[in-house]
Each structure stands twice: as structure tokens, then as C-alpha cells.
Amino acid sequence: MPYLAHTANLQLAGFVFATVGWVLCSITTGLVQWRVWHVDNSTIITSGIAWIGIWRTCFFSDVLVSPKLETMYCQEFSVTDSFVPREIFVAQGLMLVAMILGAMGKTACAFGLKNIYQGSSHVSIIHYWFTAGGTLNLLSSISILISVAWNMHSVVSNFSISFPSTFNMPSIPQKQEVGDAISLGIVSAILLFMSGIFLLCYKLPPFLDHKTHIRLEESVFCESQSVNSKVVEKSGTFVSLKISANPTLNCDGITNEAFVWEIEEKL
């Protein structure tokens, strides 16, 4: 009979994928490199490159910050700013939702694994923990994909953003490229999606029987005497009770009290 823990190898891998995906999602949310703008006027933006994230925009400037280009000049924006385009507005909300859903999915998966590896009297709830975790991870993955796909479309279409004058940013770049944050977000979404599929694939093994029963496994006969071994299975724990006769057992009807009792417990 296989151990219950042997049935959750795929789900353990799903937990690892969910953890890595959630960390990458958090990093993606905070990065500013969602869009890379190349600008013509390098008077203020000295490096000629500006980075636009979903929370702020940054660039190097000899005039505003550091003549050695060691420190970025950043301006933050939020959903209350009227110039923020819809794709950034939606991404702000969805990435936060994705982080929350991913954390909840990881927690549900952890509870499922805990019930498997530490044992539980309610084995049937393991399936529900993995189902909940898988569903939450899939929703988190979808939220990330919507955010990064919409912003990638804006970059490919070279959409403009009407920044206010205080941002020292042009409304239209010479050209723009997809930033590393979007690539990282795609990897995060893939990992969370795979994790969700792995968790949803879990099924309780068919050998689990929550009723206690005793069955006769084998008998050792010595003329008119017999010594039986019995197998007891209870709550997913397999206990084998073996009774074997001493080699000096007399088969002439004389009872020998020397028996060897061996109890093996397999979890």
C-alpha cells in the first residue's frame, strides 16, 4: 500500500511554482521598467531614456538630480490622476489583486500539504484545500496576464501619455519598448498558472478507507493447530499485526506458549 504522502508530489511542485510566481508578481508590481521610452530632447532627460511603471515614471538627469547619472529622478502617480491611461489604471488594481489571490492560494496549498505530511483525521478536506489553492492561483495568473498584455499592446501601438509639465516628460516618445517588468510578469503568470493546474489535478487515492475492518490475510497450519496473522486498517493508517510461531512449537498437541508478536505500523 503506498503512503498518502506519495500522492502529493505534483502538488508539492505546485506549491514551489506558486511561491516563485508570487514573488515575481510582487517584484513586477513594484518595478518601473514596464515601458521604456526613448526621447529626442535630452536636456532634462540626460540619458535619453525614461522608464514608466504602473506607479511612477523615472529617468536620469544631470539637471534635476545628479551630474554623474547615479540617481534616478522619479515622479509618482496614482489612480486619482486624470492623465493616467486606462491600461495603467487597470494594472494597478489587478496586480494588487493578483498578489492577494496568490498569497491566499499559497496558504490554501500549504494547509493541504500539512494535512498530507503531518496526518489528518479528516482526509477528505485535503482535496478541498488543493481545489481552493488551485483556483486562486489561476485567478491570480489571469489578473497578471490581463495587466501585462494590455500594457504590452500599448507599447507595441506606441500609445502616448499626456504627462503634466511637472513630470518633465514628453507626451509622445520617439519610440518605446517593452520593459523587463512585463517579461517578468509573463513568467510569473505562467508559474502561477502551472501551479493552479497541478493543484487542481489532485485526487484522493482509492485505497483510503475510513472504516475500521479486520480481514484474515494468511494462516500457518501445523496439523490441528493454526496461527493467524491479521491486518487492521484504520483512518488511513495501515497496521499489520503478525503472529508467528516459535520454531520449537510442538505439533503433537503440546501447547508452546513461546510466540513472537510483531507489530509494524505503516503511516
Domains of the chain, CATH where assigned: 4-200 (1.20.140.150), 213-266 (no CATH)
Which tens digit of pLDDT belongs to each residue from 139-190? 999 999 999 999 999 999 988 898 988 888 888 888 999 999 999 999 999 9
Of 146, 226, 153, the closest CA to residue 186 belongs to 146
Tell me the chain's radius of gyration from C-alpha atoms.
32
Contact 242, 229 (CB under 8 A): yes
pLDDT band of 232, cuts 50, 70, 90: very low
pLDDT band of 206, cuts 50, 70, 90: low
State phi, psi for 87 to the nearest 5 degrees: -65, -35
Cα–Cα distance measured from residue 73 to residue 66, given in angstroms and rounded to the nearest whole number:
9
Q: Which of residues 166 and 105 earns the better pLDDT score?
A: 105
Q: Is 143 exposed, middle or buried (0-12, 13-18, 19+ CB in 10 A)?
A: buried
Cα–Cα distance measured from residue 91 to residue 85, given in angstroms and rounded to the nearest whole number:
10
Percent share of the chain, pLDDT over 90: 44
pLDDT band of 256, cuts 50, 70, 90: very low
Of 152, 155, 162, 157, the closest CA to residue 176 belongs to 155
Q: Which of residues 211 and 94 earns the better pLDDT score?
A: 94
Of 84, 77, 253, the closest CA to residue 162 belongs to 84
The bridge status of strand 259-266 relative to strand 213-222 is unpaired
Which of 75-79, 94-98, 135-139, 143-147 is least confident? 75-79
**What is the crossing angle of helices 9-30 and 180-200, to 10°?**
150
Q: Copy the grid coordinates of residue 141.
A: 495568473
- Residue 5's pLDDT is 66
Cα–Cα distance measured from residue 92 to residue 86, given in angstroms and rounded to the nearest whole number:
10
Which of 11-15, 135-139, 155-159, 209-213 is least confident? 209-213
- Residue 208's pLDDT is 53
Cα–Cα distance measured from residue 23 to residue 19, given in angstroms and rounded to the nearest whole number:
6
pLDDT > 70? residue 211? no
Q: Where are the beta strands (DSSP E) in 94-235?
A: 175-178, 213-222, 225-234
Q: Copy the grid coordinates of residue 148.
A: 501585462
